[in-house]
Every structure is written in structure tokens, then in C-alpha cells.
Amino acid sequence: MAAADSFYIATPIFYVNDVPHIGHAYTEVASDVLARWHRQRGDDTWLLTGTDEHGEKILRTAVANGTSPKQWVDKLVAESWQPLLSTIDIANDDFIRTTDERHEATVRAFLQKLYDDGYIYAGEYSGYYCVGCEEYKQDDDLLTATDGEYKGQLVCKIHGRPVEVLKEKNYFFRMSQFQQQLLDLYEQRPDFVQPQSVRNEIVSFVSRGLEDLSISRSSFDWGIKLPWDESHVVYVWFDALLNYISATGYGTDDANFARRWPAVHLIGKDIARFHAVIWPAMLMAAGVEVPRTVFGHGWLLVNGEKMSKTKLTGIQPTQITDVFGSDAFRYYFMRAVALGQDGSFSWEDISARYQAELANGFGNLASRVVAMINRYFDGELPAAGALEPADAVIVETVKQAAVDADAAILRFAPHDALTAIWTIVERLNGYITEQEPWVLAKDAAKRERLATVLNTAAEGLRALAVLLSPVMPQSTTKLWTALGQDGRVAEQDLTTAGEWGQLAPGTRVNALEALFPRVETIEGAA
Ligand code: MSP
């Protein structure tokens, strides 16, 4: 078992049949914010992300584009999926591809172990399959289309596309054996699946009974061959789920695996069953500890529906970052959507929040305070005199915000963390308005009071820079430099961010460009 301060968080690995949209970016940002926060509070943190490259969906896409699947995935990974990480500033520690040899070797070894231990048998599968989901479907996953091009046909509820009838000789994993063990797990560890809505769905799904799972396909060959029967490739989900342990040294680097595992899985709720049912059952069969937590976040909706490429509602992350920048992208999705609930994206909403919260709220506060220290104290941070009640309110606000934000992150609520941190922005803006430093500056007798007000405001900005760094790494770096601080803001200890009096009087502040410049045109907003 990993040490108590180990924090290993993994995103799902993404299908590379197409380019990323903001739904994918949303999962990445949420995971990255949690990882950065834990890193900055001193936890032994590891963020894993990567790509899911095998299976029928990708094979068909490659064929439709006239290339081999390997050429297709190499191109998409290099041109779209890896660049996504810099577009939205993801500080991942590793990137796993299911076509990596390190992954394929682990998958073969894991399967062989399950086969040798009697958890896999040959049988015949007949039923429905949705290539969009890469999933075998039960009757209640399907409906008969009442209109549109598939009218009268059985379609997948998620993709709205016809399912295919499969009748194949397959190998099966004895998943049904794990029903009781899984129910016990959900019972004994109520936080294993979060949030509550997803947990309820999982518990009721498993309570209805589990069937054995078909884990191989023989009608195509784009996948990892079964070690004991090379006429079959591993079912793409069985292959993909193993990325979380192949990337951290299961069977190849015991020390690293012990250091990292078990993981926190942050995934979309659409794939909660795979992570909270199939995956722990696989691990139980292999005698490996189950994950720490499976957290299913909500969907980004466009026009009330899950945004997706197939439905042509996908928005590319660069459409947003080109206008607002990556910090605003990250801030917006973490603030406007409660993690665990669905949220609607709109250009109007992001524009309004950019202007009100980032440009006028945080950015303007930072520029004004830094400019006043430059103007009234020649760029040298003044020492504070005796604190008045108005100053003490700021001291207390900063302290409380830091405590509340940390607690919120630990319960997977970055939206609450931002709300807590924003109390500093709001109170400080009110404080500046009330204290009117520009009036104090006109009266030589109020010099000490002016010094106290600007020192207090600068301390508040220091705390903001540290607390906001996991969400907005770029603007907080600029602010940190403007405050004349050494080292990287991303390396500052979050656990002491709320403590007062960390800026040394006499420190030289530097000029600060606008953190959130005016946005002139909003592409795609029409
Ligand atoms: N390859 C599988 C995951 C394997 S993990 C062992 C897969 N890939 S995916 O690319 O289709 O989707 C991955 C994730 O993208 C979803 O779980 C979810 O986290 C995210 N999202 C995709 N569309 C989304 C929205 N519209 N909204 C929010 N997140 C969405 O499933």
C-alpha cells in the first residue's frame, strides 16, 4: 500500500479516433488542478494521462481515412492529443499509450496470470455491441429509434447509433464471481465511488447481478494478442484499464508500483461502470489492491445534450484558449461547473466571467496594488504599522480561505475551493475602495496608514498567487514575479499559504502587465 501522502491521480486514456474537444479537456484540467494542488501541499504526487489506441472504433476510423491504424494513432497523438496538454497547461508526470511496449507486455502478463489462475475460460458470446462505446450492451442500454435515419432500429442510448449483433467465440472473465466482493467494497468504503449519484447507480447495477465479461475479439486484429491464443485480441477496455498499473510498474518495478498504487480515478460518469465494477473485479482476481477512489464527474452539455463529436457539438479547446488564454479556460470550467454535476458551456457565460471575475476582479486588483506600491513607495514594499479592524478582517479572510480551499480540494470540490479563494478577491477589492489609498497618499500624516493598507493588500495578493497557482499557473507566475518573490510560485507550500506576514518589507516589486487583457472579438460566440 502506498504511503499516506502518496497521491496518484489518473485521467481516463482518450480514444484517438478523433481530435480532442472541451469535454476531454475538462477531465484533464480537473485532474491537473487536483494534482497541482496536492503537489503544492507536499504530497508525493503523480499525474498520469494518455491515449487508448486499440479496438474496432479506431481501426474503422483509420480504414475510413485510408491509413493503417498505427499510422493513424501516431499522427493523432503527435498532432492533436499531446499538443492538447500544452494548450491547457497540463503538468502530467507521464503519458501512456496503449501501443507502448511497456503497456502491451504488462497486459499480456496480467492476462496470462488470470488465465493460469482459472479466471478466464473460452465460450461463445452472442448479443449486441456498440462500437462507439466499445461495449457489450444489455437490453436496458438500448432503445428503438422513433425517428431520424435509424428509425425502427435498435440504437445505443448514448450514441444514438445502431448496435451490432455479435456472435463470436470469445474468452470470458469470471466477473460474476466478484459480485458480492464488490458490493462489500461499496458498503465498507462509501467513498470508493463518488459522488453519491454515481455510487447509487453502481450499487444498483451490481445488485441486479453480474455476468461474466467477454474479454476478447477475433473478428479483427487491431489489439494485443492473447498470449495463449493469438487468433484473439484483448477486448479494448480490458486492455485500456490496465494502463493505470502498466504505467506505474506493476510486475516490472515493484518499488515504484508500491509507491504509487492505488490510484484516484477521475473520469466522466459515462465510464463509471468500467472503473467501479470491471476494473476492481480485474484487480481482485489478480490479487492487487483496488483503486483509492473512482470519482465520476458530470458532462459538459451543449444545447442540453452531452457534447460529442459524433453529434457535431464538439468545441475544440483552442477555440477558447485562442481568445481567453489557458488560465481563463481552466478557471472557467473549474468555477462554473460543480465537479460531479453536469454543466452547460456558453460563450456568453465565459465572456461574462472573464470580464467580471478575472479582468475586473482579480486582474485589476493585482494591477492596482502593484502600481500603487510603485507610485507611492518607489516600488519598495512598505512595512505595516499597527493593524486596524479592517486590516484584521483581511488577515482572517486569507487564513479562512486557505483552510476552506484545502478542505474543498480534498473532497473533490475545486468549485468550492475557488469560491473560498474568491472571498479574498472580493474583500480586498472592497477594502481598497473603503481605505482609499489614493486619498491617504495626499496626506503626509497618513503615510503609515497608507503603508499598512498597501502591505495588507500585497499580503493578500501573495496568498492569492499561491492559492490560485494550481488553477491559473501562468497569471500567478506573473503576479509572483511582480511581487518580487524568488522561486516558482508552483513550488510554494499551500499548507502555510494562509499564514500572514510572509512578504519581507523592503522587497522590490516589479511592474505588472494586465493579467487578463481586454478581449476584443469572440470567435464562435455568434
Ligand atoms: N478510452 C475510453 C476511456 C478508457 S480509460 C481506461 C474513453 N475515451 S473517450 O475519449 O471517449 O472519453 C474519455 C473521457 O472524456 C470521458 O470519460 C470523460 O471524462 C471525457 N468526456 C468526453 N466527453 C465529455 C463531455 N461532453 N463532458 C465531460 N467530459 C467528457 O471513454
Determine the distance separating the centroid of ligand 1 and the alpha carbon of 20, expressed in angstroms. Answer: 10
| Residue 525 banded pLDDT, cuts 50, 70, 90 | very low
pLDDT in tens, 249-277: 999 999 999 999 999 999 999 999 999 99
Determine the distance separating the centroid of ligand 1 and the alpha carbon of 50, expressed in angstroms. Answer: 12
pLDDT in tens, 302-323: 877 887 766 667 899 999 999 9
At 7 the three-state DSSP class reads strand
CB atoms within 10 A of CB 471: 24
pLDDT in tens, 386-398: 999 999 999 999 9
State the pLDDT at residue 509. 97
Determine the distance separating the centroid of ligand 1 and the alpha carbon of 14, expressed in angstroms. Answer: 6
Give me 452's grid cell: 499598512
State the pLDDT at residue 450. 98
Residue 278 CB–ligand 1 contact under 6 Å = no
Residue 26: name the closest of 307, 303, 264 by CA.
307
The closest-lying atom of ligand 1 relative to the alpha carbon of residue 14 is 10
- Asked, for residue 254, whether it belongs to a domain, the answer is no
State the pLDDT at residue 83. 98
311 is catalytic: no
- Asked, for residue 17, whether it belongs to a domain, the answer is no
Cβ neighbours of residue 309 closer than 8 Å, sequence gap 6 or more: 18, 19, 21
CA 408, 189, 333 angle in degrees (round to 5)?
30
- Asked, for residue 359, whether it belongs to a domain, the answer is yes
- Asked, for residue 67, whether it belongs to a domain, the answer is no
Q: Does residue 302 or residue 198 have the better pLDDT?
A: 198
pLDDT of 139 over the 90 cut: no
Domain count for the chain, please give it. 1
If you take atom 13 of ligand 1, which residue's CA is the nearest one?
A: 14
- The range of the structural domain enclosing residue 434 comes to 347-523
Q: Which of 75, 113, 169, 306 is catalytic?
A: 306
Cβ neighbours of residue 370 closer than 8 Å, sequence gap 6 or more: 461, 482, 483, 509, 510, 511, 512
- Asked, for residue 117, whether it belongs to a domain, the answer is no
pLDDT in tens, 344-388: 999 999 999 999 999 999 999 999 999 999 999 999 999 999 999
If you take atom 18 of ligand 1, which residue's CA is the nearest one?
A: 268
| Residue 140 banded pLDDT, cuts 50, 70, 90 | confident
| Residue 469 banded pLDDT, cuts 50, 70, 90 | very high
Determine the distance separating the centroid of ligand 1 and the alpha carbon of 270, expressed in angstroms. Answer: 7
Q: State the chain's mean pLDDT as an integer.
A: 95
- Asked, for residue 428, whether it belongs to a domain, the answer is yes
Q: CATH number, domain at 420?
A: 1.10.730.10
- Asked, for residue 59, whether it belongs to a domain, the answer is no
Q: Which of 113, 159, 225, 399 is catalytic?
A: 159
309 is catalytic: yes
pLDDT in tens, 2-13: 888 999 999 999
Residue 241 CB–ligand 1 contact under 6 Å = yes
pLDDT of 526 over the 50 cut: no
Determine the distance separating the centroid of ligand 1 and the alpha carbon of 189, expressed in angstroms. Answer: 25
Q: Which amino acid is at 92?
A: N
Residue 300 CB–ligand 1 contact under 6 Å = yes
The closest-lying atom of ligand 1 relative to the alpha carbon of residue 27 is 19
- Asked, for residue 120, whether it belongs to a domain, the answer is no
Cα-based distances in Å from 511 to 363, 375, 480, 514: 13, 11, 11, 10
Q: Is the four-CA dihedral 387, 390, 393, 395 of positive or negative sign? A: negative
CA distance 353 to 50: 31
133 is catalytic: yes
| Residue 159 banded pLDDT, cuts 50, 70, 90 | confident
Residue 381: name the closest of 486, 482, 466 by CA.
482
The mean per-residue pLDDT over the stretch 487-511 comes to 97
75 is catalytic: no
Residue 12 CB–ligand 1 contact under 6 Å = yes
By percentage, how much of the chain surpasses pLDDT 90?
Answer: 90
* Residue indicated by cell numbers 465479461: 213
Least confident span in 31-45, 70-84, 151-165, 249-263? 151-165
Q: Where are the alpha helices (DSSP H) in 436-487?
A: 437-440, 447-468, 473-482
The closest-lying atom of ligand 1 relative to the alpha carbon of residue 270 is 17
151 is catalytic: no
126 class by beta-carbon count within 10 Å (0-12 exposed, 13-18 middle, 19+ buried): exposed
Determine the distance separating the centroid of ligand 1 and the alpha carbon of 250, expressed in angstroms. Answer: 24
CB atoms within 10 A of CB 249: 18
297 is catalytic: no
DSSP state of 162: B
Residue 26 CB–ligand 1 contact under 6 Å = yes
Query: To the nearest 10°, the Cα dihedral for 315, 319, 321, 323?
Result: -140
The H or E element spanning position 214 is strand 213-214
Give me 128's grid cell: 449486441
137 is catalytic: no
- Evaluate whether 334 touches 33 at the Cβ level (below 8 Å): yes
